[in-house]
Amino acid sequence: ETTDSAPAPAAPAAERAKLEKEQDKLVKELEGLRASLSNEAFLAKAPADAVETQRRQAAEKEARLAKVQELLG
């Protein structure tokens, strides 16, 4: 058994399909969050904790999206 350190392909086909699906989902979710966070009426009326929750969710999804895109190569 050899354990040479040849790099693995970016992502096998099944994993790649899963990552692409997750990427699409994250993009759609981020679009919704960004729309809310750029809506002055929402920002003016929503409780501060709700706005902060959406900002945190957007940041988390952006970080995950970056990771998914990195894995996809």
Nearest to 55 by CA among 38, 37, 67: 37
Tokens 């709700």 correspond to what residue? 50
pLDDT for the residue 5: 52
Distance of alpha carbon 41 from alpha carbon 4, whole angstroms:
58
Q: What is the pLDDT along the chain (73 residues), one digit of tens a residue?
A: 455 555 555 668 899 999 999 999 999 999 999 999 999 999 999 999 999 999 999 999 999 999 999 999 9
Nearest to 68 by CA among 33, 27, 14, 40: 27
Distance of alpha carbon 58 from alpha carbon 56, whole angstroms:
5
pLDDT for the residue 37: 97
Distance of alpha carbon 36 from alpha carbon 20, whole angstroms:
25
pTM: 0.78
pLDDT for the residue 10: 60
